[in-house]
Amino acid sequence: MGNRPEELRALLDSVAKQNGDTVEVVVVGNGSPLPELPDGVRTVELPENVGIPAGRNVGIEAFGPAGADKDVLLFLDDDGLLANMDTAELCREAFARDPALGIISFRIADPDTGETQRRHVPRLRAADPLRSSRVTTFLGGANAVRTKVFDEVGGLPDDFFYAHEETDLAWRALDAGWMIDYRADMVLLHPTMAPTRHAVYHRMVARNRVWLARRNLPAPLVPVYLGVWLLLTLARRPSLPGLRAWLGGFKEGWTTSCGPRRPMKWRTVWRLTRLGRPPVI
């Protein structure tokens, strides 16, 4: 969003230092002008903030339809920093070794403490962030996606604006037969920040949770999934303003269009369950 030029430059420097073939870069200015950037970096400046998923989709299209001339696309938040110089090579090796691998989720670590927050480990058993595993979703600001995934299932859901867009894509990818890996050895350094810093957090999280279920789950699982999340939200005892925003978003999710509904196959439900996260949690 144009307010972190020094962090963005440091990120681009870390990308330029990657071993192996040069990583081509697109930077999207999401409703803000971009600072001066290194030669060779493609830029797109949008006249308004279209949200995280739509902004990333614009970046994909900058390489042609669904990133047509690339095999793999990395998505990195502008205040992140690749910790090691072998991350791009590890990605290439992982995708070459496993034809079924569609998405890799990197480990996010605080640059000062080295710690990884539980919410940044995309599985239920998150106590050991240094353990790599198959997972059922991924982190939006630190990942790599095979372009064939976008060809088959489409891009991120533009209308989500913020929150749960990664899980929407992950569920569609898993339903199409792709796998997702969490790799602890692929590290993006990123300052520890509370997600509630976003003014729209509570509303978007609730609205998009409903949209996610309505778009992707078999009908019998929709009320179960959303009922579980309602109970979890109440158990976490959010502030009164936060709860009001959450309930408003929850209602909005039911009363507004969620986009195209393509419920996953029951065998995908079983696959998610075997991977440790049945789609009711």
Token pair of 60 as six digits? 């994909």
What is the per-residue pLDDT across 232-277, written as a single tens digit (0 to 9) for each?
999 999 899 999 999 999 999 999 999 999 999 999 999 999 999 9
Q: Which domain CATH number covers 116?
A: 3.90.550.10
Cα dist. 201→40, 142, 168 in Å? 35, 20, 17
Tell whether 102 and 209 lie within a shared domain: no
CB atoms within 10 A of CB 59: 18
In this prediction, residue 70 carries a pLDDT of: 85
Is 140 inside a domain boundary?
yes
Q: Which domain holds residue 18?
A: 5-193
SS3 for 48-72, per residue? CCCCHHHHHHHHHHCCCHHHCCCCE
Whole-structure pTM value: 0.95
Among the three residues 133, 160, 193, which one is the final residue of a domain in this structure?
193
What is the per-residue pLDDT across 200-214, written as a single tens digit (0 to 9) for each?
899 999 999 999 999
